[in-house]
Amino acid sequence: MNYTNVLGIDIGGSGVKGAIVNTKKGEMLTERFRIPTPELASPEAISEIVKQIVDHYKWEGPIGAGYPGVVQNGLVRTAANVDNSWINTNIEKLFSDATACPVSVVNDADAAGLAEMKFGAGRGNKGLILLITVGTGLGTVMFSRGKLVPNLEMGHIILNGADAELYASDAARKSDHLSWEKWAGRFNEYVKRMEDLLWPDLIIIGGGVSKKSELFNGLIKSRAQIMPALLENNAGIVGAAYSAKYKYKLSLKPSQFSAL
């Protein structure tokens, strides 16, 4: 099977997005196709959307998907921004049965991080790299000397008495009607906590807000260097496709992925 071109799918709290990706170049070969995430984001509902994306592209090859939570050996372990019925679901079997295609699934932030480390802002950097995806929630992924630390999920630490993503995500900015400056103040609190825990050399800001980085450039303060994700909100799609290529072609587990 040819693993150069892979269908990448990014499952988010507000939308499920897909595109065909050239995994050698990290480039999307098609326009992104997006379907809004339903209010009841159950396994059945999301698998139907994944099938619609596959049908849209008339796709019959390998698929890589990013899921917003912990995925271990194909099993879902958390479900922060989707329905709780996901927990302990064999997501790879579910999607494979729905699409009749081989499907690899990783944490969505891990997928975005792999893309940025291989093709984007972290390329060639051997330090400790933290990528934070900012959208409906806060996703986190860390790399040390190019090696992925999977399923970090530090968007759910307690900050000011609540789950951090309820305080500092882009969804929180919108629901609390915050200016970019006021949101940056909240996000700075989160960044400081991450720095105190992890001491990264580089922090990459990804997710939906990366498309609007000019609105908060200079407002985010950090000891570490800060960069926006170069692949912006497409990093999840590209990284999901890239991870599928290496899972199937090289039989690697996510913790063995190296972007260097």
Say how many Å lie between the first and final Cα of the chain, rounded. Answer: 25
Instruction: Provide the residue range defining the domain that includes 248.
Output: 5-110+234-256
Looking at the fold, whether 63 and 84 belong to one and the same domain comes out as yes
Q: What torsion, rounded to 10 degrees, do the Cα atoms 128, 141, 139, 236 define?
A: 120
- Indicate which CATH number applies to the domain containing 126: 3.30.420.40
pTM reported for the whole predicted model: 0.90
Do residue 46 and residue 88 come from a single domain?
Answer: yes
Q: Supply the pLDDT for residue 245.
A: 84
Number of domains in the chain: 2
At residue 118, the 3 state secondary structure works out as helix
Answer whether residue 116 is part of any domain: no
Tell me if 180 is assigned to some domain. yes
**Domain shared by 245 and 220, yes or no:** no
Residues 225 and 240 both lie in one domain: no
Same domain as 164, residue 128 = yes
pLDDT in tens, the chain (260 residues): 667 999 999 999 899 999 999 999 999 999 999 999 999 999 999 999 999 999 999 999 999 999 999 999 999 999 988 999 999 999 999 999 999 999 999 999 999 999 999 999 999 999 999 999 999 899 999 999 999 999 999 999 999 898 999 999 999 999 999 999 999 999 999 999 999 999 999 999 999 899 898 999 889 999 999 999 999 999 999 999 999 987 755 445 555 556 55
